[in-house]
Amino acid sequence: MSKFTTSRLPEPWGSVINRDHTISFRFEGKGYQGYEGDTLASALAANGVMLLSRSFKYHRPRGAFTFAGLDANSYVQVGDEPNVLADMLPISAGLSAMGQNYLGSLYRDHAVHAGRLSRFLPVGFYYRAFFRPKGIWPLWERFFRRAAGLGKINCNADEAYFDKQYLFADVAVIGGGPAGLSAALAAARAGANVLLIEEAATLGGSLNYARFQRHRRDVDSLRDSLIGQVEQNDNIRVLVGATCNGWFPDNWLALSRPNRLYKLRAKHVIACTGSVEQAMVFRNNDLPGVLPASGTQRLMRLYGICPGSRAVVATANAEGYDVVLDLLEAGISVQAVIDVNQSAASPELVEQVSTMGVAVHQACTVGEAIPRTGLRSITGVVINKLAESGEATGESWQLDCDLLVTSVGYAPLGQLVCHAGGELIYDDALNSFIVTNVPPDSGLAGSVNHRYALDAVLADGRTAGLDAARALGLNPEADSQIMPDSGAGGINHPYPIYPHRKGKDFVDFDEDQTVADLQNAVADGFEHPELAKRYSTVGMGPSQGRLSSLNALRIVQRVSGDHLAGASVTTQRPPFKPVSFGVLAGRSFEPERLTPMHRWHADNGAVFMPAGMWKRPAYYAGNKDRAATVAEQVAEEVAVIRGNVGVIDVSTLGGIEIRGPDAAEFLNRMYTFAYKKQPVGRARYLLMTDDTGGIVDDGVACRLDDEHFYITTTTTGSDTVYRNMLRRNAEWGLEIDALNVTSTYAGMNIAGPMSRQVMEKIESDMDFSKDAFPYLAVRQGTINGIPVIAMRVGFVGELGYELHVPWTQALAMWKKLIAVGAQFGIRPVGVEAQRVLRLEKGHIIIGQDTDSLTMPRDAALDWAVTSSKPYFIGKPAIGLSETRPQSRLLVGFRLLNSDGPVPEESHLVVRDDAIVGRVTSVAWSEALDEVIGLAYVAPEQAESGANFQIKVSQGLMVAAQTVQTPFYDPENLRQAL
Amino acid sequence: MPLALLKYGIQRKYKGNRYFPAAKPLRSAYDVVIIGGGGHGLACAYYLARDWGISDVAVLEKGWLASGNTARNTAIIRSNYLTPEGALFYEESMRLWRSLAGELGINLMYSERGHLTLAHTDAAIRTSRWRAEVNQHLGIDSELVGRDELAKLCPELNLSEDIRYPVLGALYHPPGAIARHDAVAWGYARGAMQSGVEIHQQTEVTGIQSLDDGSIELETDRGSISAGQVVQAVAGMSSELARMVGIKLPIRSVPLQACVSEALKPFLDPIVVSGSLHIYVSQSARGELVMGGATDPYPLYSTRSTLDFTEGLMANMLELFPFLENAKVLRQWAGIADMTPDFSPVMGITPVSNYYIDAGWGTWGFKATPVCGSCMAELAATGKAPELIKPFELERFSRMEQVGERGAASVGH
C-alpha cells in the first residue's frame, strides 16, 4: 500500500459529503468506508488510495486527475461494466469495483515492464514490424489482442433497464457553473422556459471549489445566492447528473444519465460547458500525487480530502497562487512555489505567499517528478532553472514532497459546439483555443468563451441569457453589460512542456504518448496535425484529446515549423463522453406488426414466420408434434384449397388508396401496365419497375370509381412504394391524393372450388354468382353487416374471393367464414402452402423469383408492360434493354430424374462451366406428383422441352427440363369458374 | 522483439523513418495527375511507378493524406460477392492484399478473422445460398452455415429463438479480413514517393478542361496544371468532380455513418454482418468494436453525425450481443458513399479522352484498393482497360449491362 496519506479536512471543507452517513464499499477486494456524497475516487483518496488503474500501453499506475470525470485515468470496472469513471461514480452500499488493465494485481502489475521497453517501442512501432515473413502477423496479433483493450466484457451479463424521454425547452443551458446559472436566470427572468443541465450531482461548477482570487466565504455566498435564485424561479427546470453528449442539427441535444437518454429539442442553446485544466508536461507527470490545481481544489473543497502533507505548486498563473492559499488554509505545508514565468504575473501574489513563509522560485520549472519505487506515488520533484528562451537548463535541485500541484492553463470544452459546426482555433494572445463559428440559435458563456475572472464570467452568462431571450422574441428589461476580463490573457502558459531526455513526459495519458512520440511522428513525415494524431494515436483514447490536444498541437506545430495561431484542433465528434450502448438503444423495441387475426392464428396452432415487420402464419400445426409434420401440414393445406376451400390471412399486403382526377394517369406513370381504360369494378395486375427497369413490386389495382383506385402492394414493399409515390408526385404535381391504408383494411383470401358456396351462405347485399361476380371483378358491399371490398383474383389458381374489410371488424368476418365454411371442410391456410399453390400456377414472388436486375421480359411479364404509354418509371431503361439480346429468362422446370437429388432455391444453372442462371423456387407438387420449380436459364434453354443442368450440393449436376407454366390447370379454367 | 524495433532501442538519437519526403513545389505539367489522395489514388500512383515506370505523376489531395473515405471506412475485406464479375475482381484484390504488407514494408495488420453474414429470414437464407453457390463455383471459400456451426464460429452471438429476428443461419467467408486503413494509404504513399511520385496535400481541383491536343488542363487553388492523363479517384465527391469535365455520373451520394466503442479486452473474433438488422461489426487489434450500419436515407454531402444513427445501431447491436449494454460508444463519424444503381463500381474510360474514372464505390471501396489501383494504373499507362475491370466501365449503364450486386451489399440501403 502506498505511503501517500490523506485524511479528511474539517468542515466546512467537503461541501458535498454528508459526514453523518458512512457507506462501506470494496475496491480490489478490500473493504473501505466513505461518506454519502463521495465518489469512488474521492472515498478511496480519503483512505489514502490514489492508484485506480493501469495505463493502456505501459501499464503505468494512474489515479484520478481532474476529479471531474474528464480524464480516463480513473477508469475502473464495476461488476460487468467496464470503463466506469471512478471520479463520477457515487459510492453506494455494496459497491464493489476493480482496477483495470493489469496482469497480476493493480498494485503489482507484471505488465509494468512494458514501460522499460519503451525505447524499443517508438511511435507507430506496430507499423514497422511483425509483418515479415509473410503470414507472421496473425501470430503476433494473438499476442497484441491479449494486451489490447481496457475493461472486460462479460459475455453473459444480465440485461438492465434503459429508457428514453423527450424534453423541450425555449433555452437549454448546458453547464450549471457561474456562467450557466447567470445565463439561466437572465433568460428565465425575461420569460423564457429554461432547462439547466449539469453533469455533476450539484449545481455551482467552479463556484464550489475555486477561489477566483477572493476569499472562499464570498464565493460560497455568491454560489448559494445564485442557486437559491435558480431554484425559486418557476421558469427554470434543473437536470443534474446528466451529461450532454451530443449537439446535433437543429438544436437536438442528447443528454444521458446512466440508464436514460433524454432527447431535447431547444429553440436556443447556451453552452456554458467550461474548460478543462491542462497537464504540465515533464517526466513522470502522470503519476498519482501529481494533480492539477482544479483537481486539488475539488478534492479539498467538495470532498474534504487532504491531498498530501507536503506540497510543491508549479504555476504559470494566479490560480496556482490560489491553490497555495487553499493548501495553507487546510494546514498543508507548501514547500515551494515554482513559477514558470520569467517574472511573476502578479508581484502582489508572490508577496502574499512569501509573507506566509512559502518560497517562490521564479523562472523555474519542474523537470521531473521523483517516484517512489513502484511508481505509485512521488517523493519529490526536480526543479530546473529556466533559460530566457523558456527551456529548462541543466541547473537543477530537488525538493521533497508527496504532492505536486500544477497550474498552467485551460482548454475550453468546446467539443459540443464543434459537433454543431463550431471550430476550435488556436489564439496566440490567449495561448489557447477559442471557439469560432458558433452555430445559429445558440450562444456561449463563461470559460468556454475564454472568460475567467468571476465578474466577467457572470456578466457573460447574463449577456448570453439576454441574447437568447431576444432571439426568442422576448423583450428583457435589463441591458447586457460587458465586463472587462483581466484574467483571460494571463491564464495559459504558451508552452508548458519540458521534455526529459529519459522520456516518460506524457502528453496523452490515455494512449501513453510522450513528447518524443509526437516529435518523432512529425519526423516520420506526419506533419499535419490530423496525420500526427492518427499515426501517434494522440487524442484517440477515451478522453478524446480533452487533456492532450492543446499540448499535442503545440508540439506538432513547433516541430514542423508551422504557425500555431489559426491552427485548428483535430475534428471533434460525438459523443462528448463515451455513452453506453444500453443508453443509446433504450428499450430496444423493434415494432412488430400483427394482423387482427393474429391471436386466432396462435390459438389455432399457427407457426409464424417473419415477413418484413409482420408475422404471418407459415402453416397451422394444430395440436400435432410440429417438427415431424411440417411437410404433411403444408400438403394438407394445399389439398384443402385444391379440393375444398381454405382461407388465407392476407392483411399484411400493403393497401393504398389513390383518389383524384389524375388517379389513373398517376398509376400509369408509377406502374408498367395501362389503367386509364380500366373499367370501374375491375381489378388489374400492377407491376412496378425502378429507373433501371428492374422489377420492384407488384399488386392489384381495383378501380372503385373513375377517380378512385384501391391498390395492393407486396407485404414488404408497402412503405417503400408509398414513400416513392409521394416523392414522385411531389415532382409531377398530379391532382391525386395517395393514402396508405395498409392498417385500415385487413384482407382474407377465401379460395377453393367451394368458396362460392361459403360466400353464398353468408348474409350479404352482394351477388357472388358467376355472372354477377366474374373473374377479376371488384365489388363493394356488406357481408354479415360488415363493409367489404371484394375482388376475384387468382394467385392460388382456384375460384376465390379476396375480401378487404375494416381492420376492427376483420376478426368477426374471419370467424364467420370459418364457422360457415365448416360444413365444406374449410381450413386456415398458411404462407408455405400458398407458396406451393402459386408455384403450381407459375406466379412469381417479387424478391424471390426476381432480383434487382430482373426486367419484366426476363420474368415473362412483358404482357404487363404497355410500351405505348408516353412514360412510366423504368420505361427508358426497358426500351433501351430491348435493343439488346436477352441474357436470361425465368422458366418453369421439372426434373428429368425423379429419384435424383432435388435442387434447392439458389442452386445455379450452369452451362459449359459458366453460370447462366439459378433456381428461384422449387417445391414438391402433390397435384402434379413431381418436383416443380422456376429457374433463370439462358434464352436458348427457355423453349419448352429444352434441357439444362443445375449444380446442386457437392458439385453434382442435375438435369432439368423447361416446362410451360402454369404447371397446374394450364388453361386457367379453375380460377374462372 | 523483432529486429526492426531493436534498432530504435539501441540508436542514441531517433533517426526516424521518414514516410514521406517534404512536399515539393507544384509543377505546371505532369504525365499523369491523379485527383484524390486516398487509398485508391495512392495505390494507382504506386503501381504506375512500379509496374509501368511512370513516375512523372502528381497526386492532388484537397485535404490531408487519406482524409476522405479511406480514413472513415470500417476496413472490411472480402470477396463473397454475388456476380462472377464482382467476385473475381475482389478475389484478385484479396490475393494482392495478402502480400501487400511485405511489399510496402508496413504492417497493415491484415487479419483474416472470418466474415459472417447473418440471415434472419428465409429470403436472406436464399440470397446467402446464392452467394455461396456463385463463390464456390468460382473457387472462393464461402459457404452457408446453420445455427449449430454458427454457435461454434461466434459463441457470443445471441442465437435465442425468441428474439425479434432470430438468426437462421449465415454466409461464412473464412478469408474475410480487416486491415489498418491508414497504414494502407501511408504504405502506398511512401512507395509511390520513393519512386518519384509527388503528393500534394491541401491542393484542391477547381476546374477541369479537356484540350484539343488531348491533354487536360486542371485548375487548382495553387495554380493550373497540364496533364497528359488524369485519373479521378475522389469517392464521395465523384459526381461533382466529373461534372467539372462535363461527365454526368449515375451516382447518388448519401452519408454513411460508423462508430467505435472504447477499447475492450478482445472477445469477438469474426466480422459479423446482419443485413436485416443493418449492422456490421468487428473488433480491432486495439480492442475497439468498429461498427457500421445502413446508409442514411437521403442524398447529402454533409458529414455531420446524427443521433438516430447510434440509437438505431445500438438497439440492433444489443439484439445480437445483449451483454454489450455497458460497452460505450467512443466516437461516431460519417463519410459520403457514391451509390450506383447496380451497387458495383465505375472504373475505366470516359467520354473524355485521357480522363479515367474510378468512382461509384458506395460502401465497398476499401477492399478494392490494391486491385483497383493496379488496374487503373494499367489503364492510365496503356489506355486500355484490363479484363478484370471491363465489366465496370461507365458505358455499361447506357448499354443496360449492369453488374447487379445489390444482393451482396453488406447492409440494406
> Cβ separation of B18 and A881 shorter than 8 Å?
no
**Is A880 in CB contact (< 8 Å) with chain B?**
yes
- What's A18-147's CATH class? alpha beta
CATH at B198: 3.50.50.60
> Cβ separation of A852 and B401 shorter than 8 Å?
no
**Is B333 in CB contact (< 8 Å) with chain A?**
yes
Residue A977 has a pLDDT of 83
Residue B413 has a pLDDT of 47
Considering only CB atoms, A155 lies closest to which of B9, B311, B323, namely B323
Residue B334 sits in the same domain as residue B190:
no
Q: Which of B64, B262, B339 to mutate to test the interface with A (most CBs of A within 10 A)?
A: B262
Instruction: Look at residue B6 and tell me if it is in a domain.
Output: no
**Is A154 in CB contact (< 8 Å) with chain B?**
yes
Residue B163 sits in the same domain as residue B189:
no
In whole angstroms, what is the distance from residue A380 CA to residue A663 CA? 86
Task: Write out the three cell numbers for A951.
Answer: 449444380
In this structure, are residues A257 and A242 in contact, taking their beta carbons and an 8 Å threshold?
Answer: yes
**Is B75 in CB contact (< 8 Å) with chain A?**
no
Residue A2 has a pLDDT of 39
A696 vs B contacts (CB less than 8 Å): none
Distance from CA of A294 to the nearest CA of B (A): 25
Q: What beta strand segments (E) does A528-670 contain?
A: 579-580, 606-611, 614-620, 646-649, 654-659
In whole angstroms, what is the distance from residue A201 CA to residue A216 CA? 21
Residue B157 sits in the same domain as residue B258:
yes
Considering only CB atoms, A127 lies closest to which of B106, B120, B329, namely B106
Q: Which of B307, B324, B332, B344 to mutate to test the interface with A (most CBs of A within 10 A)?
A: B307
**Is A626 in CB contact (< 8 Å) with chain B?**
no
CATH at B327: 3.30.9.10
Task: Write out the three cell numbers for A323.
Answer: 491553490
| 3-state DSSP assignment of residue A51 | coil
**Is B67 in CB contact (< 8 Å) with chain A?**
yes
B13 vs A contacts (CB less than 8 Å): none
Residue B169 sits in the same domain as residue B262:
yes
Those residues whose C-beta lies under 8 Å from the C-beta of residue B353, and which sit 6 or more positions away, are B210, B214
- Is the confidence at residue B377, as pLDDT, over 90? yes
A163-276+412-490 belongs to CATH 3.10.20.30: no
Instruction: Look at residue B145 and tell me if it is in a domain.
Output: yes
Instruction: Look at residue B3 and tell me if it is in a domain.
Output: no
Q: Give me the DSSP letters along A402-437.
A: SEEEEE--EEE--HHHHHTT-EEEEETTTTEEEEES
In whole angstroms, what is the distance from residue A665 CA to residue A18 CA? 76
Residue B401 has a pLDDT of 86
> Cβ separation of A906 and B102 shorter than 8 Å?
no
- pTM comes to 0.94
Cα dist from A266 to A253, A270, A379, whole Å: 8, 10, 51
Considering only CB atoms, B101 lies closest to which of A131, A535, A579, namely A131
B309, closest residue in chain A (CA to CA) = A584
**Is A126 in CB contact (< 8 Å) with chain B?**
yes
Residue B403 sits in the same domain as residue B352:
yes
A57, closest residue in chain B (CA to CA) = B286
Strand pairing report for A423-427 and A305-306: unpaired
In this structure, are residues A199 and A576 in contact, taking their beta carbons and an 8 Å threshold?
Answer: no
> Cβ separation of B126 and A905 shorter than 8 Å?
yes
Q: Which of A906, A908, A921, A950 to mutate to test the interface with B (most CBs of B within 10 A)?
A: A906
Q: What number does CATH give the domain A654-740?
A: 3.30.70.1400
A570: left (phi over 0), alpha (psi -120 to 50) or beta: beta
Task: Write out the three cell numbers for A641.
Answer: 384449397
Considering only CB atoms, B121 lies closest to which of A131, A524, A610, namely A610
Q: How many CB pairs under 8 A join A and B?
A: 287
Residue A620 has a pLDDT of 94
Long-range contacts of A633-636 (CB under 8 A, 24+ apart): A634/A830, A634/A832, A634/A833, A634/A836, A635/A926, A636/A827
Final residue of a structural domain among B322, B339, B356: B339
> Cβ separation of B331 and A133 shorter than 8 Å?
no
Q: What beta strand segments (E) does A594-753 contain?
A: 606-611, 614-620, 646-649, 654-659, 683-689, 695-705, 708-713, 737-740, 745-751
**Is B184 in CB contact (< 8 Å) with chain A?**
no
> Cβ separation of B318 and A907 shorter than 8 Å?
no
A81, closest residue in chain B (CA to CA) = B326
Instruction: Look at residue B191 and tell me if it is in a domain.
Output: yes
**Is A80 in CB contact (< 8 Å) with chain B?**
yes
Longest dimension (CA), chain B: 68
Which of A331, A311, A501 lies closest to A406 in space, CA to CA? Answer: A311
Q: Which of B328, B343, B401, B406 to mutate to test the interface with A (most CBs of A within 10 A)?
A: B328
Q: Which of A131, A166, A615 to mutate to test the interface with B (most CBs of B within 10 A)?
A: A131
B129 vs A contacts (CB less than 8 Å): 904-907
A599-652+745-838 belongs to CATH 3.30.1360.120: yes
**Is B331 in CB contact (< 8 Å) with chain A?**
yes
Residue A486 has a pLDDT of 57
DSSP code of residue A401? -
Final residue of a structural domain among B282, B315, B339: B339
A151 against B208, higher pLDDT: B208
Final residue of a structural domain among B313, B339, B365: B339
| Angle, vertex CA B300, rays to CA B297 and CA B302, nearest 5 | 120
**Is B201 in CB contact (< 8 Å) with chain A?**
yes
A852 vs B contacts (CB less than 8 Å): 342-343, 404, 406-407
Residue B259 sits in the same domain as residue B401:
no
- What's A884-963's CATH class? mainly beta
Rg (chain B; Cα; Å)? 21
Q: Which residues of chain A have pLDDT under 70?
A: 1-6, 478-488, 588, 623-628
Residue A682 has a pLDDT of 97
Distance from CA of A561 to the nearest CA of B (A): 12
DSSP code of residue A777? B
Domain count, chain B: 2
**Is A134 in CB contact (< 8 Å) with chain B?**
yes
In this structure, are residues B318 and B325 in contact, taking their beta carbons and an 8 Å threshold?
Answer: yes
Q: Which domain holds residue B394?
A: 27-73+182-249+342-409
B110 vs A contacts (CB less than 8 Å): 137
Tell me the one-letter amino acid at B374. S
Residue B363 has a pLDDT of 93
Residue B170 sits in the same domain as residue B196:
no
> Cβ separation of B315 and A584 shorter than 8 Å?
yes
Those residues whose C-beta lies under 8 Å from the C-beta of residue B179, and which sit 6 or more positions away, are B75, B77, B97, B108, B109, B110, B111
Complex-level ipTM: 0.96
pLDDT 10s digits, B254-307: 999 999 999 999 999 999 999 889 999 999 998 999 999 999 988 999 999 999
Residue B282 sits in the same domain as residue B358:
no
Strand pairing report for A7-8 and A305-306: antiparallel
> Cβ separation of B400 and A134 shorter than 8 Å?
no
A246 vs B contacts (CB less than 8 Å): 305, 307
Considering only CB atoms, B18 lies closest to which of A524, A590, A904, namely A524
Mean pLDDT for the stretch of residues B119-126: 93
In whole angstroms, what is the distance from residue A509 CA to residue B371 CA? 40
- Is the confidence at residue B11, as pLDDT, over 90? no
**Is B177 in CB contact (< 8 Å) with chain A?**
no
> Cβ separation of B133 and A918 shorter than 8 Å?
yes
Residue B169 sits in the same domain as residue B296:
yes
Residue A625 has a pLDDT of 58
Residue B169 sits in the same domain as residue B203:
no
Q: What beta strand segments (E) does A777-888 contain?
A: 778-783, 786-791, 800-806, 827-829
Cis peptide preceding A12, ω within 30 of 0 = yes
In whole angstroms, what is the distance from residue A136 CA to residue A120 CA? 20
Residue A485 has a pLDDT of 65
> Cβ separation of B287 and A149 shorter than 8 Å?
yes
> Cβ separation of B341 and A691 shorter than 8 Å?
yes
Per domain, the residue ranges of chain A are 18-147, 163-276+412-490, 599-652+745-838, 654-740, 884-963
Strand partners, A700: A685
Strand pairing report for B346-348 and B355-359: antiparallel
> Cβ separation of B318 and A117 shorter than 8 Å?
no
> Cβ separation of A150 and B137 shorter than 8 Å?
no
In this structure, are residues B286 and B331 in contact, taking their beta carbons and an 8 Å threshold?
Answer: no
| 3-state DSSP assignment of residue A963 | strand
Considering only CB atoms, B329 lies closest to which of A119, A575, A853, namely A575
> Cβ separation of A160 and B325 shorter than 8 Å?
yes
B325 vs A contacts (CB less than 8 Å): 157, 159-160, 162, 580-582, 585
Residue B117 sits in the same domain as residue B40:
no
A879, closest residue in chain B (CA to CA) = B400
Considering only CB atoms, B323 lies closest to which of A153, A573, A609, namely A153
Residue B172 sits in the same domain as residue B259:
yes
In whole angstroms, what is the distance from residue B166 CA to residue B159 CA? 7
